[in-house]
Structure 1
C-alpha cells in the first residue's frame, strides 16, 4: 500500500471496538474465574465475598473509563498514558509507563491465547496434550493477520467479537429468565465440595482481608486493555477524539454488563472451581484425570445444556474472542514502540511502517516475546496471570496523576467560567482515578509479588534501563555528528591515496583499476598479498603482459593471512600522513543465487569490517555482475528467496579460481 493510502486505513467506531477493546471485552471470560479461584483457597466459606468484589471491580472500571475519556480529549496524538506521564511528570515517569505497558501488552497476548486454548480444551478435553503447540500456532496466525494491516485485521476480528458479545448477553438473559421463573440452572460442579488449603480454612482479621484483596486484584484483570483506545486515537476517523471517547464508553458499558452477568450466573449456578482438582470432594474418580471446565463453560452448560448448540456456540465464541483479544496488544504495542522509537528510546526500525502500512517490526517483536512466554510457562493461565495487570495499573496511576497536573496547568491560564468548571470536574475524575488505581497497584504488588509478579517488575525495570541507554546512545551519536564548523568540515583532504586490492588479474580487477583512475587520486597503487609464491609470480607476469601502468605492491604473509597485512599497510600510510585520505577499492563480483555464496569465501566482508574502523579510510566496492545475477534481476526469472551479494576478489592470488572468490584462507 502506498503511503498516501494511510487515510484509507482509518477506522470507524464499529471496527475500532473489536480492534482496540477485544481484550477488556473478552476478559469477562476469565475475570470471574480468577476471583473464585482465590476465594476457594479457603473452601466454600468465602464465596459470599464474590458480589462485593465484583462490585468493586465494576466501580473501578467505571472510574478508569471516565478517566481515560479525559485523556482521549486532552492528548489525541496517540501517546496515551506514556504521553500524559512524559508531559506532566517528566521523561523518567513516561518511561516507567512505557515499560509497564510493553510488559502488559506481551502478557495480554500470552494470557489471552492461553485462556482461549483453555476454553477449547474445555469443549474437547483430549486436546489437553497439545496446549503449547496450539497456543504458538494461534500467535503465528494473529501475527500474520496483523501484518496485513489494521483495517484488514479489524474486518477479520469484528464478527467473532460481536458474536461473543451477543452470545454472552443471550446466555445471561436466558439464565436470569430461568432463575426468575424458579428454574434456576445448576452447574456441573455444584455438587462438589472444596477442601481448603492447609492454613486457609479459618482465616480471620488481616489474613482474611489479604485473601479478599488478592481475589480483588485477580478480578481486576477485567480492566486490562482499557488504555489501548487512548493509545490508538490516530487510527480513528475524524473527529478522532470524539469517536475514540464514544468507543471507550461503549466498551465500558458492554464489559461491565457482561462481567456482572457472568458473575451473577456463576453464583446462581453454584460454580465451584479450584486451582487443583484434587481439592474437589465428591468426584468419584481419580482427581488427577479430572479436567475442570472454565467458569463460563460451566455456566453455559448449566443454562443451555452440556451438549447443546448454545453451549458449543458459547465455547467456540469465547475461545475465538479470547485468542483475538490479543489483537488489542497487537495494535497497542506497535503504536507505543513506534512513538518510543520516534522519541529515540527504542531502535528506529520500530518506527517504520511495512508494506501494508502496519508497524511490522513491532508486531514481530511482540509475537516472538509472547511466544517465548507461552512456551516457557506451558501456556498455563494460572502461572501467567500472576505476571499480569501489574503494568497496566502502574500506567493507570501515573497517567491519572499526570492528568491532575495537566488540569492544574490549564486552570492557571483559563478564564472562562464554563470552561473552568469543566476542567475542575475533569480534575476530580482524574484525581479519583489516580487514588483508586494507586491503591489497586499497592494491593496487586502486595498480593502477587511473591507469586510471580516480581518477574514483571524485573522485566519493566530492565526495559526502563534499556530505553534510557538507547536514548543516551542516540543523543551521543547526534551530538558527535552535528556540524560545528561547516567551513572546516568542507575542507578537502591534503592528498588522496588510492589502493586497489588485487587477488588475480581478471576483469573485476581491471574495472576496479579503471574506476580508481577516474577518481584522479594524488597517488594510486595496486596491492596484493603473497600467500603463494607461484600465485604472486603469475600476477607479476600478467601485470607486465598487459602493461598496466599502476605500481604493484606485494605484501609478504608467511602465516597466509590476508586481512591483517592489508589493514596494517593502510594504517601505516595514515600514520605517515594524518591529513591524507586513503581510498581502498575492493573488486568483487555479484552472484545471483543464495547457494552460490556458499561456494566462495567472504574475505571482502572481513576487510570492510576492519577497514571501516580505521579513521581516514574510505572503502569503495567495485561490483562485477555475473550472468547469474543478471538473470536473477529479471522479475520473472528470479528464484524465490534468491539474494545477490558482493563476493570479494581478495588481495591474495587464488592460484585456481579465475574470479576473485577463491577458497584460500582469509
Structure 2
C-alpha cells in the first residue's frame, strides 16, 4: 500500500481544498454543503474500488485500463486510455510537487514566493530516487505514508472530540466571509448553485486518481498479484474515503475557508477587508493549526508529514508512467527506447521523459494547484469510463459462453457492479467536461488527442519498417556475395591512427586496396606523397584534387565513382577516430570523420569501418569513463590495454 497506493492516500492532502475552492466561486456557504460533497466523493471512491477489484481479478498481469480496453474494445479504445493515463501520470507528478511546495510554504512562510523552484526541486529528488530503483528506497518511502494516515486520523479524532465537548477549534479563516467573484469572471459557474455544487464534486473526485496507479502496477506485487493488489486497493479506498469525509466535515464545522483570491474574496467581520499580504494555507494545514492550537508543534508534524507523503505519491508516477510506456513501446506504439531498462533495472528513459514533462507543466502554470487540477481529471475519468465499459464487455462475452451456474450468476453480479461504476464515472466525466472545459480541461483533451495521433503514427511506422525488412521465403541475399571488395583508407596525415587503419584494411584482405588523401594544400599534398614513398608503405596513395579546399566532397565523389564503375562491389571505407577522455576534446577532433561517416551512410553498398585510437587523456580517465558508460563492465576491461 505505501509504495503503490500512496498517490490515492496523498490526494486527501488537497482534495478538500479543491472542494472548498469550487464552492467559494459563488460565495456558497461551505459549512452546509462541503460535508455532503465529501460524503458523495467518499461513496464514489468505494464504488470505484469495488469495480477495480474486479478488474484486477480478471487481468492480474497489469496494464490497468489500457489492457482492459484494448482487449475488449479494440486498439483504438486502448490508445485513448493509454494517452489518458500518460497525461494522468505526468499531472500526478506535477500536482503532487506543487502541493508539496504549498506545504513547505505553510511551514516556512518566507519561501512561499519560491514555490516553482521548490516544486522543480521536488521533481528532481523524485527523479533521482526513481532512477536509483532500490528496494531499500521503497521501504523507506513507506514510512511517510503510514505517518500521514496516522496524522490525518489523529487530527480528525482530536478535532471531533473538541467539537463534541463544546471546545470548537478556531482556524485562521473561521471568522471570514466569502464573497462571490464577478459574474463576468465566473461565466457559466455563476448561473446556478447546482452547477457550483457539481463542479465542487468533480474537483473533489481528484481523490480517485490513485486507483490507476495500483491497477497499472500489479506486476510489482507478490503472488497472487491480482488478489494482493485488490486487498491493497480496498484498504486504500477505505482509508481515503474515511479521511476525506472526516476532513470535509471537520473543516465545515470549524468554518475553514479556501478561495482562489484571498484578498478579493475574503472579508473580516463587519465587511472589513483582510490584510493585503494574507496568504492562506492548505485546508489540512489550517485544520492542524486550529485543532492543535495549544500545541503548535503538531502543526509542523502534520504539514511535514503531508509534504513527505506527496513526495512518496510523486514516486508512484515513476513506477506507473515508465511501466505503461514500456508496455506501449513493446506493443509498438511508443519509441522502443522506452522499453529498455537501465543498469539499475529501471526504465530510466521513461522516468526522464516523465520528469521533463512535469517540470514544463509546473513552470508554465506557475505551480498553481487549481490550474493543474483543471487538467488532471479529464485523463483520469476518460480511462475510468473506457475501463468500465471494457469490463462490461468482458463479463458479457463470458456469460454468453456459460450455462446457468453459480459462476455465471457471480459474473452477472460483477457486470452489474461494473455497470454502476460506468454510470458514476461517465457522470463525473460529463460534469468535468461541462464545468471545467473552458477553465483548462481543453488542454488535457488536446494533449490526449495529440498523444493518440502520435502513437498511431509511431505504430504505423514500425509496421511499415517491419514489413519492409521482412525477408521473403526465397530471399537469396544472405547467400549472394559481392563480386569484389574494395577497401579505401582515408588519409589526412601519416600518423599512428592512420597506420593502424591501413593495417586493419590489409588484414581484411580486400580484392582492391587504396589509400586516398585530399589535396587541400598542394604543397602539403606533395610533402605527404614524398613521405609516403620514403616509408615504402605497401599501398598506393591517390591524391584527390579539391579546387574549393573541401575535404568531404572529393571523398564522396571518389566513392561514388567507384560505385558507378563496379555497382556489384562492396566498398569498405576505413576512418581513423580518436577516443578522447575529456568532453571538450570532441570539439577539437573527429569532426571531419563524423561528417564523412554521416554522408557515406547514404551510399548503397558502402560500409564505414571506424578504427579507434585512444589518446592519453582517455587512458588516464579510463575507469571513470567506463563507469560512466553504464553498459560495460569495468572489471572486464581493467586488464586490457
Q: TM-score range by the shorter chain?
A: over 0.9
Corresponding residue number in structure 2 for 1:212: 197
Distance 1:408 1:621 in 2: 61
Q: Mark the CA change 1:391 to 1:376 in structure 2 (over 3 Å): closer, same or farther.
A: same
What do residues 464-491 of structure 1 show as CA deviations (whole Å, max 9, x unaligned)? 1111122122222222222223423321
What do residues 632-661 of structure 1 show as CA deviations (whole Å, max 9, x unaligned)? 33x3x7698699xxxxxxxxxxxxxxxxxx
Structure 1 window deviating more from structure 2 (475-484 vs 145-154): it is 145-154
Which of the residues 240, 264, 280 maps onto 2:266? 280
After TM superposition, the score normalised by the length of structure 2 is: 0.93
Corresponding residue number in structure 2 for 1:460: 448
Distance 1:153 1:285 in 2: 48
Q: CA deviation at 1:150?
A: 5.5
Q: CA deviation at 1:344?
A: 1.4
Pair 1:114-2:98 in alignment: yes
Which of the residues 330, 340, 349 maps onto 1:342? 330
Q: CA deviation at 1:625?
A: 2.9
Q: CA deviation at 1:433?
A: 1.0
What do residues 102-160 of structure 1 show as CA deviations (whole Å, max 9, x unaligned)? 11111111111111211221232221122111111111111111222162332121111
Corresponding residue number in structure 2 for 1:420: 408
Corresponding residue number in structure 2 for 1:399: 387
Corresponding residue number in structure 1 for 2:133: 149
Distance 2:169 2:494 in 1: 90
Q: Mark the CA change 1:543 to 1:398 in structure 2 (over 3 Å): closer, same or farther.
A: same
Which of the residues 59, 83, 96 maps onto 2:43? 59
Q: Mark the CA change 1:238 to 1:180 in structure 2 (over 3 Å): closer, same or farther.
A: same
Pair 1:625-2:614 in alignment: yes
Distance 2:191 2:401 in 1: 47
Q: CA deviation at 1:416?
A: 6.6
Q: CA deviation at 1:202?
A: 14
| Aligned partner of residue 154 in structure 2, secondary structure | helix
Contact 2:266 2:274 in 1 (8 A): no
What runs of 5+ residues in structure 2 fail to find an aligned partner? 631-641
| Aligned partner of residue 623 in structure 1, secondary structure | strand
What runs of 5+ residues in structure 1 fail to find an aligned partner? 1-16, 644-666
Q: Mark the CA change 1:390 to 1:331 in structure 2 (over 3 Å): closer, same or farther.
A: same
| Aligned partner of residue 598 in structure 1, secondary structure | helix
What do residues 233-261 of structure 1 show as CA deviations (whole Å, max 9, x unaligned)? 11111111111111010001100110011
Distance 1:493 1:142 in 2: 54
Q: Mark the CA change 1:112 to 1:625 in structure 2 (over 3 Å): closer, same or farther.
A: closer
Corresponding residue number in structure 2 for 1:508: 497
Corresponding residue number in structure 1 for 2:636: none
Q: CA deviation at 1:46?
A: 6.2
Contact 1:44 1:193 in 2 (8 A): no
Contact 1:42 1:196 in 2 (8 A): yes
Contact 1:40 1:47 in 2 (8 A): no
Contact 2:575 2:610 in 1 (8 A): yes
After TM superposition, the score normalised by the length of structure 1 is: 0.90
Distance 1:95 1:270 in 2: 45
Corresponding residue number in structure 1 for 2:8: 24
| Aligned partner of residue 2 in structure 2, secondary structure | helix
Distance 1:298 1:632 in 2: 55
| Aligned partner of residue 14 in structure 2, secondary structure | helix
Distance 1:624 1:413 in 2: 68
Root mean square deviation, CA, Å: 2.3
Q: Mark the CA change 1:304 to 1:632 in structure 2 (over 3 Å): closer, same or farther.
A: closer
Pair 1:593-2:582 in alignment: yes
Distance 1:626 1:282 in 2: 74
Contact 1:72 1:245 in 2 (8 A): yes
Contact 1:107 1:370 in 2 (8 A): yes
Corresponding residue number in structure 2 for 1:662: none
Contact 2:189 2:435 in 1 (8 A): no
Q: Mark the CA change 1:453 to 1:356 in structure 2 (over 3 Å): closer, same or farther.
A: same
Which of the residues 43, 55, 63 maps onto 1:71? 55
Q: CA deviation at 1:78?
A: 1.4
Q: CA deviation at 1:195?
A: 1.5
Q: Mark the CA change 1:339 to 1:202 in structure 2 (over 3 Å): closer, same or farther.
A: closer
Structure 1 window deviating more from structure 2 (622-631 vs 152-161): it is 622-631
Distance 1:463 1:288 in 2: 43
Distance 1:205 1:134 in 2: 34
Q: CA deviation at 1:182?
A: 2.5
Q: Mark the CA change 1:416 to 1:312 in structure 2 (over 3 Å): closer, same or farther.
A: same
| Aligned partner of residue 488 in structure 1, secondary structure | coil
Corresponding residue number in structure 1 for 2:218: 233
Corresponding residue number in structure 2 for 1:472: 460
| Aligned partner of residue 572 in structure 2, secondary structure | strand
Q: Mark the CA change 1:526 to 1:204 in structure 2 (over 3 Å): closer, same or farther.
A: closer
Distance 1:304 1:239 in 2: 43
Q: CA deviation at 1:292?
A: 1.1
Pair 1:164-2:127 in alignment: no
| Aligned partner of residue 376 in structure 2, secondary structure | coil
Distance 1:202 1:334 in 2: 39
Distance 1:626 1:33 in 2: 61
Corresponding residue number in structure 2 for 1:527: 516
What do residues 485-513 of structure 1 show as CA deviations (whole Å, max 9, x unaligned)? 34233211122222111112233222222
Q: Mark the CA change 1:451 to 1:532 in structure 2 (over 3 Å): closer, same or farther.
A: same
Distance 1:524 1:267 in 2: 88
Distance 1:642 1:327 in 2: 26
Pair 1:566-2:555 in alignment: yes
Distance 1:429 1:116 in 2: 36
Contact 1:631 1:638 in 2 (8 A): no
Distance 1:238 1:203 in 2: 50
Q: Mark the CA change 1:118 to 1:591 in structure 2 (over 3 Å): closer, same or farther.
A: closer
Distance 1:122 1:548 in 2: 78
Distance 2:9 2:544 in 1: 72
Which of the residues 145, 153, 160 maps onto 1:176? 160
Structure 1 window deviating more from structure 2 (591-600 vs 437-446): it is 591-600
Aligned residue-pair number: 625
